[in-house]
Amino acid sequence: MAQIYIPYTEATGKYIGLNHLLSYYSKGIRIFIVIGARGYGKTFKFKRLCVKDFVFKNGHFIVLRDTIDACDKICEQEGHKFFDDVMSFGALTKHKAMIKGIEDRTILIDDKRAGEVMPLSAYYKYKGNYYDIKNLFFDEFIAEKQQAYRGNRARQFANTIETTIRRNPNTRVLMTANALDKGNDILELLGFNIKDFGYYINYEKKAILYYAPNSPEFEADKQQSLSGIITAGTFLDESMNQNRFEDDGIIFEKRGPCDIYGIYHNFDNEAVRLYKHKTKDIYYACKDINPHSYDYMRYVFDYNQVTGSRHYADKNVKMFLQRLVAAKKIQYESKYIMSVFMSIINNRKKN
């Protein structure tokens, strides 16, 4: 089943509302993703949910971040900075949260173990099934533009789920990100192809994504803030203030009549099929849906990758493909496919 899209643009209030998103738990959804602007309350509300589930229901939780360094930042000052906003809110003010040590990264609430802080990049160090985990919270799962990915993050994410909560069908996976990259590999893994604001549901993957529009109240507050003033009208405005994905590619809705032109592989063993329109000077880059077909049309740009079914393509082929990209003659199935294709023609690992 393909994703279901429900348009939604009627956001109100100074901070994001997540009740509708979380209501899909009763419909079998277990992965809840929110993509929205900085300062909109995404992280706060998911942190509060995790803490409340522990305080009132004894539901333990995992805080997941990309790297060990990112986890260490959370653990600084015993985690007080990370939990300060939540623990000073409403019914939680009489409770106390802290993180015990950088090494073991154990979250304590009222001096009782509430959960752990774990790095996605070192999932293999945390093998074991955590039967008492109610929530797994993955904050900032889409990296900032200037940050390099470390390893295959989709594989790391899947392995983290496998090694921590595989036997707990009731665990919620809570994920947040700022609006930066439609080509994210984890979004691709979960079957999401985002186009505009609203809800995206994939029942097969038990996942729902809310791409949140800014409310008028939030917009007004943002514009009056110092950060809103200094970034207004700059290249940072769309991703930081207007909550729009950066989009520098051409995404097609439907391929025209075409023939397969070639299949190209990158260092991560991912492949893109390139099709040429039958009558127009247009090419379509698509996911390689069958890795065992068209052996005679599969190419690599590194001698070390050559096999019986993958043939070496010389620099002239690469230059031709790069010229197609520069001339904007290639349309892409998704931003993710575009990122894979760029890694292929630039002969590098995909960031």
Q: pLDDT confidence of 48, banded at 50, 70, 90?
A: very high
**Domain contains 245:** no
Same domain, 8 and 79: yes
Residue 182 lies in a domain: yes
Q: For residue 50, give both structure tokens.
A: 């995790």
- 170 and 263 inside one domain: no
In degrees, to the nearest 5, what angle opens at C-alpha 46 toward C-alphas 87 and 221? 85
* Same domain? 58 vs 87: yes
> Alpha carbon 172 to chain centroid distance?
16
Q: Is 252 buried (19+), middle (13-18) or exposed (0-12) by CB count in 10 A?
A: middle
Question: Which CATH number does the domain housing residue 44 bear?
Answer: 3.40.50.300
Q: Do residue 221 and residue 268 come from a single domain?
A: no
In a domain, 246, yes or no: no
* Buried b / exposed e along 37-71 (16+ C-beta atoms within 10 A): bebbbbbbbbbbbbbbbbbeeebbbbbbbbebebb
CB 279 within 8 A of CB 257: yes
Q: What is the pLDDT of residues 317-343, one digit of tens each?
A: 999 999 999 888 999 888 788 888 988
Q: Poorest-confidence range of 122-126, 171-175, 252-256?
A: 122-126
Residues 132 and 185 in one domain: yes
252 Cβ partners below 8 Å, 6+ apart? Answer: 284, 331, 332, 333
At 230 the three-state DSSP class reads: helix
Query: Residue 78's domain spans which residues?
Result: 4-240
73-86 mean pLDDT: 90
Coil/strand/helix, residue 342: helix
Tell me if 247 is assigned to some domain.
no
Other beta carbons within 10 angstroms of residue 93's beta carbon come to 9
Tell whether 154 and 210 lie within a shared domain: yes
Final residue of a structural domain among 211, 240, 269: 240
Q: Does residue 253 sit within a domain?
A: no
Count structural domains, the chain: 2
How many angstroms separate the CA atoms of 299 and 307, rounded? 10
Cα–Cα distance measured from residue 305 to residue 264, given in angstroms and rounded to the nearest whole number:
11
Distance in angstroms (rounded) separating the CA atoms of residues 240 and 243: 6
Rounded Cα distance between 108 and 116, Å, is 9
Chosen domain end from 177, 206, 240: 240
Assess whether 281 and 156 both reside in one domain: no
Task: Average the pLDDT over 62-73 and give the result.
Answer: 90
| Nearest in space to 344 (alpha carbons), one of 290, 252, 267 | 267
Q: What share of the chain is helix, strand, coil (3-state, %, to 5)?
A: 35, 25, 40
348 pLDDT more than 80: no
Task: Quickly tell me which residue has 């390689």 as its tokens.
Answer: 288
Is 135 found in the same domain as 38?
yes
| Shared domain check, 312 and 223 | no
Asked whether residue 251 is assigned to any structural domain, the reply reads: no
**Does residue 120 share a domain with residue 62?**
yes
| In a shared domain, residues 81 and 180 | yes
- 163 within domain boundaries: yes
Q: How large is the average pLDDT for residues 18-42?
A: 93
Residue 137's DSSP bridge partners are 63, 174
pLDDT per residue as tens digits for the range 154-205: 888 998 888 888 778 889 999 999 865 666 788 888 988 887 889 999 999 9
Q: Encode pLDDT of 87-116 as tens digits.
A: 988 889 889 999 887 667 899 999 999 999
Predicted local distance difference test score (pLDDT) of residue 6: 92
Instruction: Identify the domain boundary among 193, 213, 240.
Output: 240
Instruction: Say if residues 57 and 134 touch (Cβ distance below 8 Å).
Output: yes
Q: Would strands 4-7 and 198-202 be described as parallel, antiparallel, or unpaired?
A: antiparallel
264 CB neighbour count, 10 Å cutoff: 26
Q: Any idea what DSSP says for residue 3?
A: P
Judge whether 93 and 104 are in contact, CB under 8 Å.
no
Under DSSP, is residue 220 helix (H, G, I), strand (E, B) or coil? helix
Q: Within a domain: residue 249?
A: no
Q: Answer yes or no: are the C-beta atoms of 35 and 239 closer than 8 Å.
A: no
How far apart, in Å, are the Cα atoms of 302 and each of 110, 293, 314, 346? 56, 21, 9, 11
